[in-house]
Chains A and B, each alone.
Chain A
């Protein structure tokens, strides 16, 4: 009997999938099993496009296609949450399995808490993630810092604090922190991410903790939920997956990696947030940066939490339409509605044509609000309060008449 919290070494029983899939093909094997047996109707994975810098999300309904998507793409910066939401709206009767990074998992949980996605109809397969690099940044980095022709690169990945660039005959290596000091490397939101092992999923997987002869042909998995343990049990009983007890030294190593990454992230967070002036200077700083805004709406379209049908930024008495730059109220509405729930996916910053550090501000605000009110964005527990109070049309739509409960949650419980 498998229980939440247990950790195993796992792989696909199919020798082809074990060989060709990443780290023993556990994820590929499990997804193939779930889809072939009708336990899910579709799976969401990332697929390689034109080259190793080009990743896009696909919804697969044919189990044979799953193995073509094996392997991590370190330039896959997109967040699948909103596309999955759209899919569930068009296919309300479907159950889906989604392979997600930490930010994507958190975004989906927040949508679940807003009654947008039914948790019973989605299986979350989490991946350990040390961060992603924007495609063109990656190409420039390969060209300028590694001195390699970007078109000859077959793989880019991280291992033990290094960024490795692999061509057909050579593996080049440089320390990640050096690259990032020079402006290359991972996106800023990835550098400060505190969710390296997303345990809000049903099962979380990766190669951290895999040592010795298991290296390269085994995935180290952690079962996080009851649903996860049931699914894993079924997959094992139906001979799709094999598990073994993990090497204790491996588990220790995994812990150390996670702790080290957490420490680095906290340091990065500190460094990045300390650049934001405090108090009333924060307002001035935001207004100055946002004076470049052209109201393209990409931050809103990209934000997994911006799903209100009756968006307040479109009310002409709040934000005068047609103005470039838009009145600052536009950004204040965005901040005051979602800041407590910001899950640091970075889309608002990555999609901004004017290089406004939206994610930096939003995540900084969220970090402070978390200290003040104890609401943890992206985790199963709690209700997103600060923002919900502002979206009262949506609140009634999502939660019914529960305003007293909302008011009660507004208890100040932090030291700050």
Chain B
């Protein structure tokens, strides 16, 4: 039995590291470095190192399951697809919703989107980007005209000043964290702003331990300082931006002076002034940000402020500069690019754009037309709708997503799923969300199919099939194609392979138009936009002009708003949530990897030693955590690293934690939930309570 190495892209985060899967006898037995990749140069974090361990786990779904009563029975594909086809054909377009997967390939997502809009003709289509970077999509679109990370991962190392704001980069995007380390070893300044003294903060030169939810306050304060000291890039501002005066007026207000803003942020004014100096006087400065910025009700405001700061200092369009929004899932960028959003067609053309609608209809050639050119429901609205008494939504098709664990208020999700008339869930394992399905379909994982995925730096890379899927599981695009054929749309899904899907997708997405399978099949893939066949791709955006029609960036001044759920006498702690390096989101994959699960396998709450002492809580004590709308029990972990008055819970463990989380409010525009600031109270667990 000899072994082969198949080069593919990691299925976890949006860094998009390449790795080799070692295959022996039809099974993936390990991973090996792929040194040739410009993204990670062979290096991997522990999730990537052990990404083979869940692939042949016995829990993998192998056959379609149909529910009768409370029991799921194995069925064959004919029966399952027949049932789904019959049921879905009985609903009107507006009665159905599709949730695609930011973890599936571009081809899977494109086919799912085509199915939703062409076969089901529904407008209600979304995926989990709503939960993480929808604020980025809105904020950066307003500021720059395009909503993606502006620079590339390798050029971060050329920066002279890096601000990590709301990103624990070394833990969440470790191979991006490597670029910070490389810059640092060249002498760059590294600033980390976080309520917790994270591994990223440990490596920083300046640590801003501020209160969760005070980002705009901090950023406006920094901008005010920069302008007062004359460090702004006057030529960049005058030649390449609009609305500077409006911004200047807002950030120079008294309320944003370091002495005053610092008090509210929980940060000393000297630290704010020093940060402003480092950013203002750096040759090349870049900001890396992630969920700490976006997962708040003021997410869009936070993103706008970051864009403001980089435009103010002329840090756009050159290596080592830029607004680097670090996206979450391995293919959330691709899923967005492919138009799996209720308000966009592929390539971010608004669904209300008549020309785009006509063009898509003509290309696809559905004889009975496609969805209406109107915006549909996003994931939050979908569930609100389902639970309302006059619900119009009756059926849902859910792919590679576990909303029961990943949504901010699981109780409402479960309620919603139960109320649905018909639910299909397509996944690789029987997740907590599968429990509520009428049909469960077994899908292939990343190692079992060919395709492409797009990472956070807009780089389109290959995933390659290493082993066959278990049992009768199929690739997501194969399943949906078979279903579309069953529903009578064979002619619109005549693909001979994944390459055909890729070619069609590229013809529809303007940013991908110049890409070919051969070009992205090479090491390092290609960064969009690549609009012509002979273009090499665009690692750094906005070198000469922004994406607005007049080529100028727009300042959007923002006033600081308090978080929606601030502490008070009864709920005196500020809870922030986040992730660990060991696990991925709802833990479906990582909690089945021995080497990861052996390190951490249950949830907990981090609390500062002074707070713990006051509450008479010791390390590992069981505690009750109460929100305004619910409570949960878990162990306490007493750590120095967290700011007094703040607590932290990792989101991966449903049985301990996520099942009872009760984040409620949402940012009006992208419907983002406030994962990062919730008021809680903490008490020692009492047996006789409950």
A contacts, CB < 8 Å to B: 42, 49-51, 53-54, 56-59, 61, 75, 77-78, 83, 86-87, 90-91, 134-136, 139, 291-292, 294-298, 301-302, 314, 321-322, 324-325, 350-355
Contacts and interface: CB of A to CB of B under 8 A. Distances in A.
B523 interface: yes
A298 B32 CA distance: 9
Interface in B18-62: 20, 22, 24-25, 29-30, 32-33, 35-38, 40-46, 48-50
A42 to B, nearest CB: 6
B32 A355 contact: no
B496 interface: no
A243 to B, nearest CB: 31
A12 to B, nearest CB: 24
B581 interface: yes
A322 B602 CA distance: 11
Nearest to A137: B41
B35 A297 contact: no
Given A301-B49, A322-B600, A353-B44, 4 more contacts: A86-B29, A297-B46, A351-B33, A355-B185
Given A324-B171, A351-B43, A292 B35 contact: no
A77 B3 contact: no
B406 to A, nearest CB: 21
B49 A297 contact: yes
Contact of A296 (B5, B24, B32, B49): B49
B203 interface: yes
A51 B49 contact: no
A135 B181 contact: no
Interface of B: 1-5, 7, 20, 22, 24-25, 29-30, 32-33, 35-38, 40-46, 48-50, 170-171, 174-175, 177-178, 181-182, 185, 199, 202-203, 522-523, 580-582, 595, 598-600
Contacts of B45: 294, 296, 353
A78 B42 CA distance: 10
A139 B522 CA distance: 14
A82 to B, nearest CB: 9
Contacts of A325: 199, 202
B3 A83 contact: yes
Contacts of B1: 90-91
A19 B46 CA distance: 45
Contact of A350 (B42, B203, B595): B42
Contacts of B5: 56-58
A52 to B, nearest CB: 10
Contact of B174 (A296, A297, A321): A296
A56 B46 contact: no
Contact of B36 (A53, A57, A87): A53
Contact of A294 (B3, B32, B171, B595): B171
Given A50-B523, A54-B36, A314-B598, A354 B24 contact: no
A244 B45 CA distance: 51
A294 B174 contact: yes
Contact of A354 (B29, B30, B178): B178
Given A91-B1, A294-B170, A294-B174, A50 B35 contact: no
A121 B592 CA distance: 37
B27 to A, nearest CB: 11
A355 to B, nearest CB: 5
13 contacts: A51-B522, A61-B2, A87-B2, A87-B3, A294-B45, A294-B171, A296-B174, A297-B49, A298-B44, A302-B33, A322-B580, A353-B44, A354-B174
Given A83-B3, A83-B32, A291 B182 contact: no
Contacts of A53: 36, 523
B43 A291 contact: no
Contact of B35 (A91, A134, A354): A134
B170 A135 contact: no
A31 to B, nearest CB: 15
A271 to B, nearest CB: 18
A275 B35 CA distance: 27
B534 to A, nearest CB: 14
B43 A135 contact: no
B581 A353 contact: no
B43 A298 contact: yes
B49 A136 contact: no
A6 to B, nearest CB: 34
A87 B22 CA distance: 11
Given A50-B36, A294-B581, A355-B185, A134 B49 contact: no
B182 A322 contact: no
Contact of A56 (B20, B49, B170, B174): B20
Contacts of A59: 2-3
A351 B599 contact: no
Contacts of A314: 598
B33 A78 contact: yes
A350 B40 CA distance: 11
Contacts of A58: 4-5
A151 B380 CA distance: 47
> Which 4 pairs of residues, A with B, have the shortest CB-CB distance?
A322-B600, A54-B36, A353-B43, A322-B599
B653 to A, nearest CB: 12
Contacts of B30: 86
A296 B15 CA distance: 15
Contact of A353 (B24, B38, B175): B175
Nearest to B600: A322
A276 to B, nearest CB: 16
A80 to B, nearest CB: 10
A91 B40 CA distance: 32
Nearest to A61: B2
Given A54-B523, A83-B3, A297-B46, A321 B36 contact: no
A362 B462 CA distance: 36
Most chain A CB within a 10 A radius of its CB, from B36, B48, B177, B178: B36
A64 to B, nearest CB: 15
Contacts of A351: 33, 42-44
B199 A49 contact: no
B689 to A, nearest CB: 29
A197 to B, nearest CB: 25
A296 B182 CA distance: 18
Contacts of A83: 3, 22, 32
B583 to A, nearest CB: 10
A354 B177 contact: yes
Given A83-B3, A314-B598, A354-B170, A292 B203 contact: yes
Contacts of B522: 50-51
B41 A135 contact: yes
A136 B33 CA distance: 13
A354 B41 contact: no
A355 B182 contact: yes
Contacts of B32: 78, 83
B52 to A, nearest CB: 12
A332 B677 CA distance: 39
A94 to B, nearest CB: 9
Contacts of A291: 202-203
Contacts of A298: 33, 43-44, 49
Given A321-B600, A324-B199, A134 B41 contact: yes
A215 B24 CA distance: 41
A325 B197 CA distance: 12
Nearest to B50: A297
A54 B2 CA distance: 21
> Which of B2, B29, B50 has the largest number of chain A CB atoms within 10 A?
B2
A78 B35 contact: yes
A57 B34 CA distance: 11
B181 A355 contact: yes
Nearest to B40: A353
Nearest to B47: A296
A78 B36 CA distance: 11
A322 B600 CA distance: 5
A135 B37 CA distance: 8
Contacts of B178: 353-355
Contacts of A294: 45-46, 170-171, 174, 177, 199, 581
